[in-house]
Structure 1
């Protein structure tokens, strides 16, 4: 059985009270209609009372489930800080960079990990693929670290009325119910959440935003480590993982050299820098 949200509990309580009031107000009319039934009429009245009260409570709970409750900011002296709650998906946990973000203080508020995300993470950990299995187990290590750094709640909401395996839709619905932001690295989930009006925190976008700006004409020092797609190209990487494609750099593989930036390409996957050797004669 799913755990009810605060909105559903509040809605059900209000609905029950309203239902009892309605039953009380119509009891006079009801008793007149069933007075001819004697003792049986009393039982009928009790049953009607219960039906009206239960229906009103159910209706109140359903209405409450549709209402988005935005949590009030917590006081500065609270345990979690003033941030809004964040629903964390599997891709973010497996990625692991969220630990450094929480440690740096850029991400505040309660972190909510749904039970169905834990099941997905467990399935990855049990995979026959060694790489997936390693990533899944690392995800549980990341969760343990997050529990040490921040308040992490395991949400029992499972949304059994939704199609099995539809984790993305469940994440969006949970974020809507809690008035929470969604933390994800998944491009498709990011788009769906935006369409549904859910605020998204994308770790990849944050990583790209804090990378130093590189402009054409700037000089960089890079180690060319492998060949590129084109015949004369060499490839190297900056410390932050940004790929640098060095034109005429194929013969520089295994060498650290100075390059001049010629252009910068920004894609959904990240940033790519194109450059040429500062000393053209080296590549000849």
Structure 2
């Protein structure tokens, strides 16, 4: 378990609307009491922050789905509070309850300098598999690469895998062995080769 039991966490609207938070909590990595933004404030918050799209019903629906899932998770207590969508009120509530804020907003994290804040994206990055050389992973070869024998596939998290000698497995799920990786501006890139070689 990453955190001791019965810690208090605050989830703002956009963290709930992100959808990933419910999946994360289902693993049991974080337990305790969760203070959620009052549902009556969601529509207004979404409209204020997402003026360009106009229709924000999909965000509200995702937040509702997240809350429904979170309430069913063993070891988690849920309470809704008004004020969590206003930064000043959020700070006051967090200090009052000595709570940790879970958010998807990097700017909010920067502004809460005197409070414990966990950025959801950073947490997901930390939990990603390392895929060190020698690691084995199943991947579906979706297309050919830049060279004639390369195959391209993707694994969990949208990580691109370049498979040396993978072109002949196009459309198939195969086990590959990682031979290296590269962090690029658009994410991690994995280099691999098939674990097994077809007998001609």
The structure where helix makes up a greater share of residues is 1
Q: Distance in 1 between matches of 2:157 and 2:70?
A: 24
- Where in structure 2 are there 5+ consecutive unaligned residues? none
Whether 1:154 aligns to 2:80 is yes
Whether 1:139 aligns to 2:139 is no
**In structure 1, the residue corresponding to 2:110 is in which secondary structure?**
helix
Relative to the length of structure 1, the TM-score reads: 0.50
Report matched runs for 1:193-272 at 5 Å.
Answer: 193=112, 196-226=113-143, 231-232=146-147, 234-238=151-155, 240-246=156-162, 253-265=170-182, 272=188
Partner residue in 2 for 1:70? none
Partner residue in 1 for 2:7? 84
Q: Distance in 1 between matches of 2:11 and 2:18?
A: 11
Cα 1:204/1:106, change in 2 over 3 Å: same
Partner residue in 2 for 1:109? 32
CA contact under 8 A between 1:242 and 1:273: conserved in structure 2? no
Partner residue in 2 for 1:33? none
Q: CA deviation at 1:88?
A: 0.2
| Structure showing greater Rg | 1
Report matched runs for 1:125-136 at 5 Å.
Answer: 128-129=54-55, 133-136=57-60
The number of residue pairs the alignment matches comes to 184
Q: Which has the higher contact order (CA 8 A, sep 6+)?
A: 2
CA contact under 8 A between 1:243 and 1:272: conserved in structure 2? yes
RMSD: 3.8
Q: CA deviation at 1:267?
A: 7.3
- Where in structure 1 are there 5+ consecutive unaligned residues? 1-80, 159-165
The structure where strand makes up a greater share of residues is 2
Cα 1:268/1:142, change in 2 over 3 Å: farther
Relative to the length of structure 2, the TM-score reads: 0.66
Which residue of 72, 80, 103 corresponds with 1:184?
103
